[in-house]
Structure 1
């Protein structure tokens, strides 16, 4: 659906006009409102008493017309051409583990500027590719008309704690999840230090797909703040064809490591093979059941799983486990890691309460490392790999903005591969490509998940 707001129609026409200039964008009349995907505070209790799997994002997500937020110092307004769905949007839509309005209320109390975020609706979304419309006071690196992607780290950096690693800032938040005015919208409000150059060989929807998951996987696997992967490492990757795992698989291959890809279907196994992985475990076909019942794990299954890994690797255990399912798999992850190896964990999409046998950790000198998204430098490096054509988007399907609830439902039900994209202002797929020569060299890899 194309914008019906006349100011938005004019904005889109200017952005997409051949030869448009920074002055053209700067001269645009900004709309007073825009369409955005929201959850509403009044709906917070709608799923009370239901299991997570029974909660339907199609009932809680709305596409609303919302007022344009006021631009503050160090910030930018971006016309969002495309965005994508992350698991934090699933959590937001089903109000788990907590409704996000508590995040907005706490943020709103920190300063008069932050108070803008505390609203009875929450504009979601932690990815975007688009065009800078306006910048606030103190912004010098970006100007109207710049084509950008955004990472989702929002920090204040008024505490010394964040100046060695911005992820340690006590006011660190995830944009579009713990802040308002996210990327599943026609316009987004970001801090200028979230912006990065859009890879020129990608379309809008392709460029919007990697941001959160690629940066998260980079810190988790490659960075010294995570597992510090090296050449020759064996890396067990859960959900290796999914939104996060598909980037971990690529990073392992590009970095000279050997991924051991765990998937849940023959189709997902084939996707991993297309990426170049050779060691693959279809956990559904091999029927691994790490829990006897809701309260009891089965160590015999851990052992069977470890034996299967050694069969694939020629007798070696894994140096690193790339963990994100959480409760369902964590006991097995700790068990199968080699002596002195590392379990690096984030997300916990199957549950946040992890149980494992500490004897296999403590007596074998293993480490558990927690990671969360990425700092600006890590996000920039991850985006640079995309821009150089060394890591590729894993976009599998694309929906228009008005069908975002359906897209989020697909991710919640795990019936997707890779990333699911959302067209916001872009009138169709395939637009926004600037470097056709580089694109042609990598076209097969770019379309691998389509």
Structure 2
């Protein structure tokens, strides 16, 4: 058992970061501090704060103090605990809410006797993974038909401030076909946190949900721990209990901004727009936790990434796009079919879904693309053909019936509605679809005179 030695030679205090001089290898009988290890800082006023090792440099150790450095002086005491941050894991955490330090904030009973697991470990061995082949139904037509969410997928919702992305994320959480939902809130205002919790409770899914929440008023360092806590718990449910786990994180741009803030305080050389040079690696370590286990369940990661100024070249969405397997692009309260992409949808379309799924998806998108072109011709006062008029009608119906994020339809009902919409606007031969599918699914009674 390691001995906890107190250090009092604090060399520097910058913001919430302190630097402590530690002899190489620590004192006799003590384990040397390691990256991400926890420490306890006791100020001159007796106040005790938790801290985390964020940099090791020869005999100097830098720590981020969770509750800030108020009351900490250069003669304060620092004790290294010899282990990284841990999070409670047991069946008792379902229906509970925790803060970034892992402490319950819902007023429920203490979980101090429950098992704890370390956070931030490596991604699962690829040999233990299997190819993604199972669909997660969300009842959102623009996802289920056009960009299927697949188990073990890692995918963000790209959006901008002011869009209802949090409401949309909560809706997916309550409607998605998953055994456990793990929610991570990053820098949320209280109203957003309360809205998520109320939505989960009213929908009856809170008993299978666990929430990790960092509010905007909470310390920044806790924000960096939320994804690791959520993913560590998700992995345990998937591996040990065989659960199909959906992880929801919002907003990963707030997470990246917290990394940026810490990096600046540590005087690190900034990269693009002031973000740390290892931003890609930091994001990838979290997203790569998504996996479908050969012997167990699965972890699917769905996040929100806001784009400042609707700029997809911003470092956060730009790096995210290289890591993830597509994105859902949310703007004007709608999922844009042309900005969205699911690279794994071909693994499930037509294999675990209805035979007409692929043809319906491709044909309706082709027709909607033609509708947009026809609308531009109309706006510029060009003459429209009869087919252009049909396209415009189809485009209006498509936006109303499918693109609005409030539309709630099971996949089969959405496919039937797509056939109905096409039949209201076009003759069967105008669809250029396979005849056997037209014979089976085209609703003749819906055709307009």
Question: Could you tell me the TM-score, scaled by structure 1's length?
Answer: 0.28
Larger RCO (CA within 8 A; separation ≥ 6): 1
**Bigger CA radius of gyration:** 2
Question: Could you tell me the TM-score, scaled by structure 2's length?
Answer: 0.28
